[in-house]
Amino acid sequence: MSEDLSRRSARPEGGVLLLAATPLGDPGDASQRLKDALATADVVAAEDTRRLGRLTAALGVTVTGRKVSFYEDVERARIPRLVEDLQGGATVLVVTDAGMPAVSDPGFRLVAAAVEADVPVRCLPGPSAVLAALAVSGLPTDRFCFEGFAPRTDHKRDQWFTELADEPRTVVFFESPRRLGKTLQVAARVLGPDRRAVVCRELTKTHEEVLRGTLGELAAWAGPDVLGEITVVLGPAVRKAPEPDDLAAEVLALAADGRRLKDAAKEVGTAHGVPTNALYESALRLRG
């Protein structure tokens, strides 16, 4: 362990930056650690102080520390003062409107500044729209990636989905309800209308809705009246195995290097997920 890493890991004194996950909708999902932190933190940096007030009222918690607005447009300007607070020994709690700070929400820049200032950063885990949507989607969960918000412009959106065309992992992303219909239409056009997907709307809230289907079906459903917080889960690309006739030339090329035709067919078939016997027969026909 380097001297710098050891020093930072063991540092006991000074302030601490807390990142706390807040409920996606149902206040009952708030952890006791979140309640305690809201009541005792020296500074609470909130994405929306009005939503913070509604949350604390629902939880029966009184914020005794200084409340600071901490949304995207003011994030950079607020960081120097918050770092000063941390270096002075304060506990600074960061909360967003819902879910985990720094994940497509304010917080990342403050975390980086706190790390640079040698201030401990801790996480109070809890609700996550990304994981909640993934868990209920019914799509593969063993490998997935999070892509943030879909691009807003037509050109960038097209390019973005083109890059995801062969993505072997399940993809989770956020979208505005106003742009959802257009985004799903582009996805269906670029990725194909049969690609599996799930739209999760208002997770954990009264009007929670989870719609599963193909991109074509979901694009037809998503009209201008869709409301609420939206998380989309896109199924992984399904790779179609090539036809044996398409690989026969590759088998013959290996056989020309000295391999037995059967062994060459097995090697190529294993690499592409094609049955050896079918590939062997195709190679024989091509060789004449």
Look at residues 78, 94, 127 and tell me which one is the last residue of a structural domain. 127
- 165: domain CATH number is 3.30.950.10
Q: What percent of the chain has pLDDT over 70?
A: 95
Domain stop point among 95, 127, 159: 127
- Determine, yes or no, domain membership for 2: no
39-59 confidence digits (pLDDT tens): 999 999 999 999 999 999 999
223 and 155 belong to one structural domain = yes
Q: Are residues 50 and 73 in the same domain?
A: yes
Same domain, 120 and 136: no
Residue 84 shares a structural domain with residue 163: no
Residues 87 and 108 in one domain: yes
**SS3 assignment, position 18:** strand
* In-domain check, residue 239: no
Q: Are residues 96 and 200 in the same domain?
A: no
For the chain, how many structural domains are there in total?
3
Task: Evaluate if residue 91 carries a pLDDT over 90.
Answer: yes
Same domain, residue pair 120 and 143:
no
Domain that holds residue 88: 12-127
Q: How far apart are CA 220 and CA 185, in angstroms?
A: 8
Range in 85-99, 119-133, 247-261 the model is least confident about: 247-261
Task: Map residue 19 onto helix, strand or coil.
Answer: strand
Identify whether residues 105 and 69 lie together within a single domain. yes
Helix (H) or strand (E) holding 175: strand 170-175
**Beta-carbon contacts of residue 101 (< 8 Å; ≥ 6 apart):** 19, 20, 21, 47, 94, 95, 107
Q: Are residues 118 and 81 in the same domain?
A: yes
Q: Are residues 101 and 181 in the same domain?
A: no
55: domain CATH number is 3.40.1010.10
CA nearest to 268, candidates 287, 288, 240, 249: 249
Residue 7, domain member (yes or no): no
**Residues 100-149: tens digit of each pLDDT:** 999 889 999 999 999 999 999 999 999 999 999 999 999 999 999 999 99
Mean pLDDT of 20-28: 95
Per-residue model confidence as pLDDT tens digits over 156-205: 999 999 999 999 999 999 999 999 999 999 999 999 999 999 999 999 99
Same domain flag for 156 and 60: no
